[in-house]
Amino acid sequence: MKILFILSGIGLFLSLNACKEAEQKTKEILNEQVMNLHDKLMPQTEEIIQLKSQLDSISTGRDSTHVKNLILSLTKAENEMMDWMHHFSIDSLDQMEVKSQVKYLQLQYKQLKFVENITDSTLNAAKKYISN
């Protein structure tokens, strides 16, 4: 009976340890995904600034309303990225438990995907307009 109890305890310990290792691995993967997405979006932010400047120089023509709307959309995408960066806190991750880190990184990734969608669509619209 003692052996069964000891084996059950060892089994529980091993399964809890494996669960923690899986959570740690998930956290590492999520952290890498967040950082990779951030690194992809940062150069696009610079591109937004350049496109806004180009559009601003032609904002008084026949399509001035459309051009101004493109500039507003680009500004919104740029602001979304800046807001995300302002609120993201990599330092606070170290103070959280692994489960909380995973939840935080999942939320950050979701928010960055939203920023990516806005950025991609506005960049494409602005580039298309400029190239025509």
Per-residue pLDDT tens over the stretch 46-84? 999 999 999 988 877 677 889 999 999 999 999 999 999
List the domain boundaries for the chain: 24-131
Q: Is the pTM of this model over 0.85?
A: no
CB-neighbour burial class of residue 68 (10 A; exposed 0-12, middle 13-18, buried 19+): middle
Residue with tokens 């999520």: 30
Q: Which of 37, 15, 27, 44 is nearest to 98 (CA)?
A: 27
Per-residue pLDDT tens over the stretch 1-25? 556 545 454 544 444 455 778 889 9
